[in-house]
Amino acid sequence: MNTVNFGQTQVAPSKLVCIGRNYVDHIKELDNEMPSEPVIFLKPNSAISEQLYLHEKDDIHYEAEITFMVKEGKMVAVGIGFDLTKRDVQSQLKVKGLPWERAKAFDRSAVFSQFVPFTEDTRGLILKVYINDELVQLASDELMIYKPNQLLEDIQQFMTLADGDLLLTGTPKGVGKLKLGDVFEAKLYHHERLLVAGTWSVLDFAN
């Protein structure tokens, strides 16, 4: 089982629960319809990776997300997640009305920072993502259509969340293609307090 870092502990999530279309500007960016309820899809444990990789055949888009770890049905930790997407494949699947797994659940399609304990009010959470020192994405609780607690409640109405499962709360505008050698830096704040940060260089899938 693949793991993520929570303090000094390695945690193996049984699944990654992802939210689509949770930021208005990102919905417009991809010319999608506004949802009437949370858009939910899953990534398996096998999707977890420590690095950002290009794919050998398909263009990969980055989507940075404020991500929570769940324990005993509650959010107990927070970190930074990247929901990597084969955008062209996803577009083809959407046209056909088919599920997104081929575009979302492939190996190395979920990359995470370390997780830190967090049980405070999610208001004030802000995620900033830079590529080569240029700000490209800004995510926050304030900009979400469905807030983290709403998402958790909605998911638990039909799905059991095991201890260690991760909730990716959606991505804001500013998504784009991974490019070899680009350096990503992401910083997650609660108001002015830095909670966690991470840096990743985009690598070739073959390495």
Residue 190 has φ and ψ, to the nearest 5°, of -115, 105
Q: What's the mean per-residue pLDDT of the chain?
A: 94
Over range 140-152, report the average pLDDT: 95
User: What is the model's pLDDT at position 23?
Assistant: 87
Give the integer Cα–Cα distance in Å for 36 and 126.
Answer: 25
Over range 178-184, report the average pLDDT: 97
Over range 138-160, report the average pLDDT: 96
Q: pTM (2 decimals)?
A: 0.95
DSSP assignment of the chain, as one string? ---EEETTEEE--SEEEEEES-BHHHHHHTTPPPPSS-EEEEEEGGGEESSEE--SSS--EE-EEEEEEEETTEEEEEEEEEE-B-HHHHHHHHHHT--SHHHHSSTT-EEE--BEE--S-STTEEEEEEETTEEEEEEETTTBSS-HHHHHHHHHTT-PPPTT-EEE----S--EE--TT-EEEEEEEETTEEEEEEEEEEE-TT-
User: What is the model's pLDDT at position 156?
Assistant: 98
User: What is the model's pLDDT at position 167?
Assistant: 98
Q: Which of 6-15, 73-82, 89-98, 120-129 has the lowest mean pLDDT?
A: 89-98
Give me the percent of the chain exceeding a pLDDT of 70. Answer: 97
Give the integer Cα–Cα distance in Å for 28 and 24.
Answer: 6
User: 33 - beta bridge partners?
Assistant: none
Q: What domains can you pick out in the chain, each with its CATH number? A: 4-203 (3.90.850.10)
Give the integer Cα–Cα distance in Å for 50 and 48.
Answer: 7
pLDDT tens column, 90-115: 889 989 999 999 999 999 999 999 99
Give residue 192's identity as a one-letter amino acid code.
E
pLDDT tens column, 11-53: 999 999 999 889 877 657 667 777 789 999 999 999 999 999 9
- The total number of residues written for the chain in this structure: 207
Q: Measuring CA to CA, which residue among 181, 204, 167, 169 is closest to residue 4?
A: 167
Give the integer Cα–Cα distance in Å for 137 and 148.
Answer: 19
